Amino acid sequence: MATNLIDKSVLIAQKTEAVQSFVMHHMRDSTTWHFLRWNVALPPFLSLHALMVIFAAVFLVILFGVVYRKQDAVPRGVTNLLELFVLFVRDQIAVPFLGQTDGRRMTPMFCSFFFFILTMNLLGLVPCFRTATSNISVTGALAVVVLCVMIFGAMYRQGLRKFCKGFVPSGVPFLVLIILVPIEVIGLFIKAFALCVRLFANEFAGHVVIMFLLGLVVIFGAIGFPFVLLAIMVYMMEVGIAFLQAYIFTLLSAVFIGQRYHPEH
């Protein structure tokens, strides 16, 4: 009896290690794309997550360049659906945090953030594809774009002197400013870092949870079948999270940029 228990424990440990190895391999960036029954070797300059980024970009170019029919007097079908999201980004995100002038002018950028992140998130839920936003290099690049707009966009709009003055609150004693100003400057980079980590962590964790829940069936056999139902529920939740994370990234980007464009508020 004791020998059987030991053998079962060893077998479970081996299966657990195999599942863990498979999950980490699935989440790791690679130069090989396992598509259905084929193993597609990618060029040395292209990784799998970079390929997913290209797929998302090409899809959006086709969607808005070919499918989208702006010239129609009455938007219908896909055009009507896309305009619903565009108007939401403009009226609920860009304009409230940057004002009418800056908000309308920067709506295309925020729409690009929203649709690009949403496409990459949803693409990762399709079998044989990967989630590019679970790579911190991808989310970091998006955060750097926001950081550049926060710094150089505000400099261009306000001038260098007024931009620097935005880090110095009026009416604050000099001794307090010695501590407060460096915190304000560091906070500029912390905000961008938070954008990067928030999106990466949510997408990475969600897919890891799904993979490990399915892996429990491999470890425990038929007794682990209820975990499949739980994995399906988490998968459905991940669809909603894909929209939510695209929205949160776009919203926080507008908030942070608005703070630098209008420091007086």
Within 10 A of 153 (CB to CB), how many other CB atoms are there?
A: 18
Mean pLDDT value across residues 158-168: 85
Q: Over 60: is that where the pLDDT of 39 sits?
A: yes
Residues 200 and 134 sit within 8 Å (Cβ to Cβ): yes
Residue 174 has pLDDT above 90, yes or no: no
Residue 74 pLDDT exceeds 80: no
Mean pLDDT of 253-264: 88
Q: What is the pLDDT of residue 2?
A: 55
User: Is the pLDDT at 170 greater than 90, yes or no?
Assistant: no
State the pLDDT at residue 179.
86
Q: Is the predicted pLDDT of residue 191 greater than 70, yes or no?
A: yes
pLDDT above 90 for 106: yes
Model confidence at 72, pLDDT cuts 50, 70, 90, reads low
The pLDDT assigned to 71 comes to 66
Mean pLDDT of 171-196: 88
CA geometry: angle at 209 spanning 207 and 212, to 5°?
Answer: 110
Q: Give pLDDT, residue 80.
A: 87
Annotated domain spans of the chain: 2-261
Please, is 208 exposed, middle or buried when counting C-beta atoms within 10 Å of its C-beta (0-12, 13-18, 19+)?
Answer: middle
Q: At residue 253, does pLDDT exceed 60?
A: yes
- CB within 8 A of 59, min separation 6: which ones? 119, 123
In this predicted structure, the answer to whether residue 265 has a pLDDT above a threshold of 60 is no
pLDDT average, residue stretch 124-129: 90
The answer to whether residue 30 scores a pLDDT higher than 70 is yes
Q: Between 263 and 254, where is the model more confident?
A: 254
DSSP assignment of 162-203: HHHHTTS-TT--HHHHHHHHHHHHHHHHHHHHHHHHHHHHHH
Count the Cβ atoms, other than its own, within 10 Å of residue 231: 19
**For the chain, what is the mean pLDDT?**
88
Weakest mean pLDDT among 2-16, 47-61, 87-101, 224-238: 2-16
Q: When comparing pLDDT for 65 and 56, which is higher?
A: 56
Percent of the chain, pLDDT > 90? Answer: 52
Q: Which of 137, 146, 81 is nearest to 109 (CA)?
A: 146
Band of residue 90 on the pLDDT scale cut at 50, 70, 90:
very high
